[in-house]
Chain A
Amino acid sequence: MIEIKDIEKSFGSNIVLKGISGKFEAGETNLIIGGSGSGKTTLLKCMIGLHTPEKGSVQYDGREFTDMNFEQRIEIRKEIGMLFQGSALFDSMTVQENIMFPLNMFTDQPFKEKLERVNFCLERVNLEGKNKLFPAELSGGMKKRVGIARAIAMSPKYLFVDEPNSGLDPKTSIVIDELIKELTEEYNSTTIVVTHDMNSVMGIGDYIIFLHEGKKFWEGSNKEIAHTDIQELNDFVFASRFMKAAKKNF
C-alpha cells in the first residue's frame, strides 16, 4: 500500500500540486487521471522520488520515503517497477539485456537463472523469442511490452505506469491495459497508472484520483465515475461525442 499525504510541489512561481492526498491499495489498479498540465506526472515523480515535494509525505507500506536519503531509498526502489511513457529502454542494449539489467545489478543469480527469468517475463508480455532485438527494431507497442517485462523482472511490490497508451492504437492499448491489470493481480502489487485514456479508466480503474489544476477534485472507482455531479470531472470524462453517447448506458 502506498499512502500520500498533502503533497505540494511548485516549479518557481508555478504551483503544480496543491495538497494531494490518497491511499493506493495493493492488488488494485489505481489510476491518476486529469487533463494535460493537471499535475499527474509531477505527482507520480514526487511519489517515486524523481521530484522532491516541498510539503507532504509518501509512505510505502508505512515506510516514510520522502525523508530517506539515496542509500535508504535503494531498498524501496528495488521493489519498484516502472513503465515510462516513452518506455525508456536502454538503446545500446538488446531486449534481453534490458530485462536482465536489474537482475545483473541487484542479484547474484547465475546467468542461466537470469535468462530463465527474462524468458518468463517476455513470455508474460507475449514477446517470446525477441531477446536479441534492439529497441530501435521494435514497434511502439512492443517497446511498451518490453518496458513492462523489465518492470516485472524483479517481481515488484509497487508498479508505476506513466501514460501506458500514448501513441498506441486502440487494440494495442487494450492489450497493455489488460496486461497491467493481470500483473497487478498476479504480483498483488500496488499499481499506479497515470493516464488520460478513458478506455483505461473504464476498463481497469479500481481506484481513481482525478486531478484538476493541481488539486484532487474527486476519488472513487470506475463504476462511480460516470455518476458524479462534478462539472470538471464530467467535462473531462465525457469530452468526446462517443463518451457522451455511451454515458446513457452507464
Chain B
Amino acid sequence: MNFTNFGKYLLLLKAVFRKPEKSSIYLKAIFQQMNFIGVGSLGLIAIISTFIGAVMTLQIAFQLVSDFIPKTIIGSVTRDSSILELSPTITAIVLAGKIGSAISSEIGTMRVSEQIDALEIMGINSPGYLILPKLLAGITMVPVLVIFAMALSITGGYLGGTLSGAVTPAEYIQGITTDFNPYTITVALVKAFVFGFIITTVPAYEGFYVKGGALEVAQASTRAVVVACISILACDYIVTQLLL
C-alpha cells in the first residue's frame, strides 16, 4: 500500500464508524458475518491446526536428540510455539485467503454492479453498512478461532508425538503443563484481534474501490489477500516486539 492508498484506507475506516442508520439491521448482519467468519471456518482451521501441531512435535523431537535435554521440552516448545506464533499467524493467513478474498469479491462485485451506488442513493452509509458488521465479526471471531486453533494444535502435537513414538504421553503432558505462562495467551489474543481487523478491513478496502469489471474484481481479490498477508506478518512482528 502506498501512502495515497493508506490515506484512502484511513478515510474509509472513518466512514465505517459513522453512526449506523438502524442498529437492529446492523446487529443481524453482525451475527450473519460471525457465522460466516467463525462457524464457517471451524473445519478448515481444525484440520490445519491439528496437522501443524503434529508436524511441529515431530520436527522438534527430530532436532532434540541430546541426552541432556529432557523429552518434556518437546511438549513445552510445541505449546509455546503454538500459542505465541503458529496458531495466531497461520490461522490469520488461512483466513486472509478464505475470508479476505470472499469479502473483497463480494464488495467489489457490489461496486461494479452499482449496488453500492444504490445504497448511497438511498442515503445509506455504504462503508458502514457493508464493512462494519464484517469488522466487528472479524475482531470477535478471529480470537475465538485462534483459541480453538491453539487447543487443536497442542492436541495434534500429542497425537503426532505419541503415535510416532517420538514422545510418551506422560512426557508430553508434563511438558505442556510445566512453566506455563498465561501471558502468552494474552499476546496471542492481542495478535488475533489485530489480525481480525486486518483480515476484514484490507480486503474490504480493495473491494470498495474497484473500478472496471470481473477482471478487476478478481485482481482486487488477489491483491487483498497479498496485502492482508504482508500486513499480518508485519503486525505480527510489531506486536511481538511490543508485548514480549
A102 touches B113 (CB 8 A): no
- Across the interface, A80 reaches (CB within 8 A) one of B18, B115, B121, namely B121
Chain B hits for A82, CB < 8 A = 118, 121
B125 touches A77 (CB 8 A): no
Report the bound CA distance from A222 to B60 in whole Å.
83
Q: A77-B123, A78-B123, A82-B121 are in contact. Are A105 and B25 (CB under 8 A)?
A: yes
Given contacts A91-B115, A105-B22, 20 further A-B contacts (CB under 8 A): A50-B120, A73-B123, A75-B123, A77-B121, A77-B123, A78-B122, A80-B121, A84-B117, A85-B114, A86-B114, A88-B114, A88-B115, A88-B117, A88-B118, A90-B110, A91-B110, A102-B122, A105-B21, A105-B124, A106-B122
Report the bound CA distance from A102 to B18 in whole Å.
18
Chain A hits for B22, CB < 8 A = 104-106
What is the CB-to-nearest-CB distance from A70 to chain B, in angstroms, rounded to a whole number? 7
Binary B-proximity of A61-78 (CB < 8 A = 1, otherwise 0)? 000000000100111111
Q: Is A19 an interface residue (CB 8 A)?
A: no
The A-contacting residues of B in range 17-42, CB under 8 angstroms, are 18, 21-22, 25
Binary A-proximity of B109-139 (CB < 8 A = 1, otherwise 0)? 1100111011011111100000000000000
Name the CB-closest residue of A to B123. A77
Chain A hits for B118, CB < 8 A = 82, 84, 88, 90
What is the CB-to-nearest-CB distance from A233 to chain B, in angstroms, rounded to a whole number? 29
Chain A hits for B123, CB < 8 A = 73-78, 80, 106
> B residues near A, CB below 8 A?
18, 21-22, 25, 109-110, 113-115, 117-118, 120-125
Name the CB-closest residue of B to A92. B106
Q: Is A1 an interface residue (CB 8 A)?
A: no
Chain A interface category by residue count: 20 to 34
The B-contacting residues of A in range 30-70, CB under 8 angstroms, are 48-50, 70
Chain A hits for B121, CB < 8 A = 48, 50, 77, 80, 82, 160
Chain B hits for A77, CB < 8 A = 120-123
Binary B-proximity of A212-243 (CB < 8 A = 1, otherwise 0)? 00000000000000000000000000000000
What is the CB-to-nearest-CB distance from A157 to chain B, in angstroms, rounded to a whole number? 13
Report the bound CA distance from A50 to B123 in whole Å.
11
What is the CB-to-nearest-CB distance from B124 to chain A, in angstroms, rounded to a whole number? 6
Chain A hits for B21, CB < 8 A = 105-106
Name the CB-closest residue of A to B21. A105
Q: Which 9 pairs, one residue from A and one from B, show the smallest C-beta to C-beta distance? A: A77-B123, A88-B114, A74-B123, A88-B118, A84-B114, A82-B121, A88-B115, A102-B122, A78-B123
B113 touches A88 (CB 8 A): yes
Report the bound CA distance from A49 to B120 in whole Å.
9
Q: Which residue among B25, B110, B118, B120 has the maximum number of chain A CB atoms within 10 Å of its CB?
A: B118
Report the bound CA distance from A74 to B123 in whole Å.
5
